[in-house]
Amino acid sequence: MMELGQRGHGIFGRAEPELELGRMDGPNAPLPAPSWKGRVLGGVFFLAALVCVGFSVYNAAHAGGLAGRHGTLTVQRCWVEQGTRNSSDTTVCSGSFRPEDDSAVVRDAELRREHRPGAEVPVQQTGSGYLASGLAETWRWNALFFIAWIVAALGVPFAATGIFPARTQAFAVGARVRGTRAAVVMKYLYIGGAAGTAVCLYLTWIL
């Protein structure tokens, strides 16, 4: 006869599922031990933030006229390029670019923005193409700079703890740094990033 004190086994000698605590899944599962994978994950977020900052500064400098060659692109035709599974469709307009310095006109210059045919768009020539210029465009690219703060904040808890969590445990890792200096850094990155992004998008809208 089975003794009442023998818990954890059913009639057929198999472990009862509710007692297999080591196999618990979800956000309440025990977090893994710190490892280099967690540090690398935090570094990936920081690297992505740096890429956003570089992209923002480069494009904002051109949109603001601080770099590149200024001119006007007269739109002749537009079409839609089909996106991939991970990206949306993009409208591309083509036309003639007339530089402000009266140098040779560039035919079939392309601008990735929707415009009506015949529109004369102020643009800046970059090393890889053309960008719409002006204050509104400059602030739009500045918003990406502050979005980079938010991306960096996402990597703080992983870099600080070294924990590489399961997909459902990301918020649990964030809670692990609560009350530490890392939490303060993460808080100000979130607040500064959100406030800066909101201001930039507002200025883009009203200009």
- Which token pair is 154? 């996402």
Positions in the chain whose pLDDT score sits under 50: 1-24
Which of 173, 195, 169 minimizes the C-alpha distance to 182?
Answer: 173
Range of the domain at 48: 32-60+136-206
Of 132, 148, 174, the residue that ends a domain is 132
Total-model pTM: 0.77
> For residue 77, what is the domain's CATH number?
2.40.50
pLDDT for the residue numbered 164: 86
pLDDT for the residue numbered 26: 55
Residue the block writes with tokens 């643009």 = 123
Total of domains in the chain: 2
Give every CB contact of residue 154 below 8 A, 6+ residues apart in sequence.
45
In a domain, 19, yes or no: no
Q: In what order do the strands lie in the sheet with 130-132?
A: 106-111, 90-99, 69-81, 120-125, 130-132
Cβ atoms of residues 163 and 38 within 8 Å: yes
The pLDDT tens digits of the residues spanning 17-54 come to: 443 434 445 556 677 778 889 899 999 999 999 999 99
pLDDT for the residue numbered 187: 94
pLDDT for the residue numbered 21: 39
- The 10 Å Cβ neighbour count of residue 55 is 14
Indicate whether 83 and 143 sit together in one domain: no
